[in-house]
């Protein structure tokens, strides 16, 4: 199995001992310290230019650990106890096959790429979630922020909408961690497929009108001003931000429009699938259009220790195939795919060998991630697993490598330092190298 490296330890300025030794040695070969600093400055300028680009993100999170061998990395030539009950179908990319349970996504292969050499050292649900969504191994004494929280902090809100939103509930690992609750995702809540779907923080209770909201805000401001004279600032500042965000949501016509699913054409809603996941994908597109920068669609039920094939064939794969494919096509039709990175993944893969309960168990050795849109090149397969989909055979990609790829696509500097509540500097990402093949 490929193991993740321990990474380099850096001082408070972000320089490792190895970096210092390199700087000292470079002078022997005609590259002085000023030249090194100049190169770093140019790299920083490049990152800054990338950061100026508004790239949106929709993350489809398959909570529970989706079976890679039954989805994006089938092995039709493997023995029956490995390949399972599903076959493989040709995609629009010649020579590339995926599960025959994903026929729509097979036709959309030009709109995403597959990482088949991905691996993780963690086959635990909560801890695996944390690694996949932050790029950091689980740490019991420090919770690291996920990609959505980091991006929301870097870019801020737009059009009165929160920068980071969650559809389907907040899974483990998908929070702001040490950055504080201010950067946690806005939890949409409810079922977007329901006839009476509404978002409680966007719609006012029937007995409350906007005049009443305004009066309450004035009273709250007066109370806050009194408290500031007697109490510490930080908790109050966080509270202020919560109230400001809530007020913006309640009063924003853009927010009301974004969450109003009834504005969508009935035929388009049918195309996505009349189920919570399909309508969640459609809502994610609406939120991106409205101004949300990062939307996660959380779909559970992928922990298939028993009845793996019945569960996947019965609901999970048909819903995913329809909703994910419709989202890609819809974004493309609206000219949004060029500015929207769409990712689909879960916390690990599943055992290539089928167990005695017709299920597959947790598997860290190999997993598949799909991504496309934004600056990511599509119609590619990066890496390859071995004959039984157990381990990477070519071009292994670690989870920190994947995290570095996400941050590169978003123009986020992985070397940036954030301060913890106890004033400890922590890098956005400690290790990992982007998958450069995915960039033009």
Query: pLDDT averaged over the chain?
Result: 84
Task: Look up residue 188 and give its two tokens.
Answer: 């949409």
d(CA 389, CA 34): 48
Question: Where would I find the beta strands (DSSP E) of 157-290?
Answer: 164-167, 186-187
Res 255: pLDDT: 83
Q: Which residues of 404-438 are buried (b: 16+ CB within 10 A; e: fewer)?
A: bbbbbbbbbbbbbebeeeeeeebbbbbbbebbeeb
Res 81: pLDDT: 97
Q: Nearest CA to 116 among 394, 343, 308?
A: 394
Res 216: pLDDT: 47
* CA torsion, ordered 73, 401, 145, 43, to nearest 10 deg: -140
Work out the number of other CB atoms within 10 angstroms of the CB of residue 254.
Answer: 16
**What average pLDDT score do residues 319-331 get?**
98
Residue with the bigger pLDDT between 319 and 237: it is 319
Res 387: pLDDT: 98
pLDDT of residue 108 exceeding 50, the answer is yes
Residue with the bigger pLDDT between 342 and 7: it is 342
The confidence band for 199, taking pLDDT boundaries of 50, 70 and 90, is confident
Res 256: pLDDT: 83
d(CA 82, CA 351): 9
For 389-417, the pLDDT digits (tens) are 999 999 999 999 999 999 999 999 999 99
What percent of the chain shows pLDDT beyond 70? 76
Res 253: pLDDT: 82
- 138 membership: H or E segment, kind and range: none
For 151-186, the pLDDT digits (tens) are 999 999 998 899 999 999 999 999 999 999 999 999
Res 327: pLDDT: 98
pLDDT of residue 218 exceeding 80, the answer is no
**What average pLDDT score do residues 91-103 get?**
97
Residue spans of alpha helices (H) in 53-207: 80-83, 103-107, 125-134, 147-155
Fold assignment, 55-199+255-438 = Alkaline Phosphatase, subunit A (3.40.720)
For 32-76, the pLDDT digits (tens) are 444 434 444 544 444 444 445 689 999 999 999 999 999 999 999
d(CA 331, CA 14): 39
Q: What is the DSSP string of 244-271?
A: HHHHHHHH-HHHHHHH-GGGS-HHHHHH
Residue with the bigger pLDDT between 16 and 344: it is 344
Identify the weakest region by mean pLDDT among 80-84, 224-228, 328-332, 336-340. Answer: 224-228
For 354-379, the pLDDT digits (tens) are 999 999 999 999 999 999 999 999 99
CA distances from 298 to 16, 61, 75, 369 (A): 37, 5, 27, 15
pLDDT of residue 8 exceeding 80, the answer is no
pLDDT of residue 208 exceeding 80, the answer is no
Q: What is the pTM of this model?
A: 0.82
Res 319: pLDDT: 98
Res 23: pLDDT: 35
Give the DSSP letter of residue 373: B
Task: Look up residue 429 and give its two tokens.
Answer: 């990402």
Res 202: pLDDT: 57
pLDDT of residue 439 exceeding 60, the answer is yes
CA distances from 13 to 19, 261, 379, 400, 417 (A): 12, 48, 40, 21, 8
For 260-312, the pLDDT digits (tens) are 999 999 999 999 999 999 999 999 999 999 999 999 999 999 999 999 999 99
CA distances from 146 to 115, 116, 128, 348 (A): 20, 23, 13, 17
Task: Look up residue 311 and give its two tokens.
Answer: 């569960």
């Amino acid at each position: 199995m490929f193991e993740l490296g321990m990474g380099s330890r850096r001082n408070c300025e972000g320089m490792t001992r190895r970096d210092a030794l390199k700087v000292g040695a470079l002078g022997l070969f005609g590259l002085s310290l000023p030249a090194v600093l100049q190169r770093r400055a140019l790299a920083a300028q490049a990152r800054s230019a990338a950061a100026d680009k508004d790239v949106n993100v929709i993350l489809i999170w398959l909570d529970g650990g989706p079976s890679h061998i039954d989805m994006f990395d089938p092995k039709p030539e493997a023995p029956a106890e490995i390949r399972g009950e599903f076959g493989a179908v040709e995609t629009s990319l010649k020579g590339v096959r995926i599960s025959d349970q994903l026929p729509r996504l097979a036709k959309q292969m030009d709109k995403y790429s597959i990482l088949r050499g991905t691996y993780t050292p963690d086959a635990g649900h909560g801890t695996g979630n944390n690694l996949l969504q932050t790029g950091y191994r689980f740490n019991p004494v420090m919770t690291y922020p996920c990609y959505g929280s980091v991006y929301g902090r870097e870019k801020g809100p737009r059009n009165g909408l929160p920068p980071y939103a969650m559809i389907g509930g907040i899974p483990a690992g998908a929070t702001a961690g040490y950055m504080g609750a201010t950067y946690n995702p806005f939890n949409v809540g409810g079922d977007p497929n329901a006839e009476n779907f509404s978002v409680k923080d966007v719609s006012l209770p029937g007995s409350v009108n906007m005049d009443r909201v305004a009066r309450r805000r004035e009273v709250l401001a007066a109370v806050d001003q009194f408290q500031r004279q007697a109490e510490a600032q930080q908790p109050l500042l966080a509270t202020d931000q919560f109230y400001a965000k809530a007020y913006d949501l309640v009063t924003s016509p853009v927010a009301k429009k974004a969450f109003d699913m009834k504005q969508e054409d009935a035929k388009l809603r049918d195309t996505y699938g009349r189920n919570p996941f399909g309508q969640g994908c459609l809502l994610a597109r609406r939120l991106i259009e409205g101004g949300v920068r990062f939307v996660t669609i959380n779909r559970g039920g992928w922990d298939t220790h028993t009845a793996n094939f019945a569960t996947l064939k019965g609901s999970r794969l048909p819903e995913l195939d329809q909703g994910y494919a419709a989202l890609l096509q819809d974004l493309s039709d609206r000219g949004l795919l060029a500015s929207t990175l769409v990712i689909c993944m879960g916390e690990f893969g599943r055992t290539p060998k089928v167990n005695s309960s017709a299920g597959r168990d947790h598997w860290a050795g190999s997993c598949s991630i799909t991504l496309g849109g934004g600056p990511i090149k599509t119609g590619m397969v990066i890496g390859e697993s071995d004959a039984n989909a157990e381990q990477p055979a070519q071009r292994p990609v670690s989870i920190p490598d994947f995290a570095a790829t996400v941050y590169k696509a978003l123009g986020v500097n992985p070397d940036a330092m954030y301060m913890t509540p106890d004033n400890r500097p922590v890098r956005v990402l400690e290790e990992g190298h982007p998958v450069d093949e995915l960039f033009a």
